[in-house]
Structure 1
Amino acid sequence: MPDSKKEDNNASNPFDATWKHFEQFFGGKLPFMPSGSSEHLSWIENYVKDVLRQAMPSSAQTQTSGGQLHTEMFETHNSVVVKIYIPDRSDAKKMNVLLSEHRIRLENLPNNGKQTIRLNCMVNPSSCKAVYKNGILQLHIRKQTYDDYFHPVDVRFP
């Protein structure tokens, strides 16, 4: 009989099931609160930073072959802005910039390298405006709206 009471108590306490899902989401058991004063809570900040670093990709993930350029990316409500640091203007003029809905590809980098930058959201490639100024190539790209997911298809009637 004591076993059936335990099962009834667990079934009636929704917190137990919710906490298990919470721990699974965060990748395991959460650290326990250290004994002593509650003033030393810096472990919480470190724990949250570690969890976020594991769960979220960096703002500008790059895959490169050859020379790698430093990039920064940030989003506004309607657009994505990507900054690519190219100190040498002649290198910037030789470079090809290709854009898809998910990625930016930089070709003809110094040492004949290539670099791909994964974007955090889908964008409308035809909306891109790029300006090179003071050693920085800055791309402004409009985010793709739900209406943009559909593209017209040409149908041939032979």
Structure 2
Amino acid sequence: MSFQVCVCFVTRTGAAGRREVLLGTKKTGLGAGNIVGLGGKLEPGETPLQAIVREVEEESGLVVDAADLEERGYLRYAFPHRESWSQDSTVFVTETFSGSPRETDEIEPRWYRVDELPLEGMWDDAKYWLPQVLAGEAVNARFVFAADLKTVSESVFDER
């Protein structure tokens, strides 16, 4: 059985006109130490859109409006060797936000150039889909993680 989560990639035009994305080093919980997008679990009765607006503000201090979020995909994560980690994630992207990112108990945020994503510090699945999502594509996929709980052992795209 999997639980429902959401993730948002906040982007901006940074120095010298280069596109940047806000990611953060996760400080607690599942994936601690990994570089991740902003997001988290849905609370009872929340839609993914409501949850991501809340999560972005809780994790970074940024305020995003639901109307400015673009849904870019749906990802299913299977952890056969630790079922409690299995989850389904709705993916959002936005270029519109207010405020400045600040460190919280959960995340240490930092802007990264889109053409220099820190994929080696992220969950293994990110390399399969994050560059495409940030290039404007939508993604629907399922990832199965190996016994080491870190490596993708199988990926299937266009699944929902």
User: Greater strand share, 1 or 2?
Assistant: 2
Question: Under a length normalisation based on structure 2, what TM-score does the superposition of the two structures give?
Answer: 0.25
User: Greater helix share, 1 or 2?
Assistant: 1
Bigger relative CO (Cα 8 Å, ≥ 6 apart): 2
Question: Under a length normalisation based on structure 1, what TM-score does the superposition of the two structures give?
Answer: 0.25
